[in-house]
Amino acid sequence: MQKQELKQGIKDSIPIILGYLPLGFAFGVLANEVGMSIIQATMMSVLCFTGAGQYIAIGVMQAGGALFTIILANVLVNLRYLLFSTSLVPYLKGQVPTAIGSLLSYGLTDETYAVAINRYQGHAPTASYMAGLNLSAHIGWITSTLLGAILGSYIGNTDSLGLDFALPAMYICLLVFMTKHTSDVIVALSSAFFCLLIGYLVPAAMGNMFNIIIATIIAASLGVLIHEQH
């Protein structure tokens, strides 16, 4: 049973890994451009498993910003994981030991969360499945970063390769796979609407940090109301 769950987790991580490869590779290239060594770039992906946060760090480094700015920006951008982890608690409680679940949750990302929450709708969570899904995705990110850092000196412009569209494309695919009811469509569209609206109304310096979080809270609350009415 555990072996089967592990294999299923690895299998479910394959689409995520395919999406991570160009993104991690691009990060490795950019890290090389700002002067990070191969070891530094790779260890950043090992110790700081957040693509958005790592790209922010590179941007701040390019602009000559302070370390405090990088840390603060990462805290704000990654606050969404409080929502993700909280919503997983009812599924994991009583199914996965707290210590093991906490350790494996280090690999929690937007993509692994989407795949896991979809899986848990019809299957009980297991530590083996979490290990297969989260660890495989993390290894894929680390490997792609390493390749990008090694080959970075040979690549000039990553935008010309279309790597910047890999992440939105992967999110769209995950959204399509998870949309099964009209309520899902309503929540998805409302979250996109509020995210764009807040980003438009609030100055960029602040809106880019909070619009995703606020839009997520509003859309999630709307989803709860719709679910209770049905």
C-alpha 193: how far from its chain's center? 20
Residue 109 CB burial class (10 angstroms; 0-12, 13-18, ≥19):
buried
Cα separation, 25 vs 158, in Å, equals 9
Minimal CA–CA distance to 58: which of 44, 47, 38? Answer: 44
- Computed on alpha carbons and rounded to an integer, the radius of gyration of the chain in Å comes to 18
Q: Which regions of the chain are under pLDDT 70?
A: 153, 155-171, 174, 177-178, 203-210, 212, 230
Cα separation, 187 vs 208, in Å, equals 21
Note the pTM of the prediction, 2 decimals.
Answer: 0.72
pLDDT, tens only, 128-145:
999 999 999 999 999 999
